[in-house]
Amino acid sequence: MAANKTAPTRVDPHEFIASVAHPTRRADAQVLLEMMEEVSGQPATMWGPTIIGFGTYHYKYDSGREGDAGAIGFSPRSTNLALYGLTVAPESEELLAKLGKHKRGAACLYVNKLADVDFGVLTELARHGYRHMMEVVHDPS
């Protein structure tokens, strides 16, 4: 069985954010950290060297691959903010239409800066995404 290569670390997410070179990305990361902690009720945890996650869920695919991952999270990359777990809930499509300037990847939502999006809509995406990951996707076995 293959497992997730990205695992929680002991790195302090606040220290990681403080090390982000781009000032807008650093400030946006701090705002995202506070919002996602509030939405999830979970403390921030570093997953690997660059992802900040909130909550944990267990997944198991038919292929046998399984592991644990952050329910929602983000990574302040050099070119954008990558947001995880925000496009999975049934409510996501309607909210994404109202979000503002963004791009979607296979499992990610990308925004250049928080000023480009409606923060209230982003918060609702995080709320629905967290609930969906914990209640629907989570495999407690």
Q: Which residue has the tokens 């903010």?
A: 81
* b/e code 65-83 from CB counts within 10 Å (16+ = b): eebbbbbbbbbbeeebbbb
Nearest to 57 by CA among 109, 95, 4, 106: 4
End-to-end CA, the chain: 15
Q: Give the tokens for residue 109.
A: 């939502």
Position 139 scores a pLDDT of 52
Q: Give the tokens for residue 40.
A: 């999830």
pLDDT beyond 80 at 96: yes
Section 85-109 average pLDDT: 95
Q: What residues have CB less than 8 Å from 126, skipping those under 6 apart?
A: 35, 36, 39, 40, 72, 83, 85, 86
Position 29 scores a pLDDT of 98
**Does the global pTM surpass 0.75?**
yes
DSSP state of 93: H
- What is residue 141's three-state secondary structure? coil
Domain 13-137, second-level architecture: Alpha-Beta Complex (3.90)
Domain boundaries, the chain: 13-137
Tell me: the pLDDT tens digits for 3-35?
A: 456 778 899 999 999 999 999 999 999 999 999
pLDDT interval class at 46 (50, 70, 90): very high
Position 115 scores a pLDDT of 98
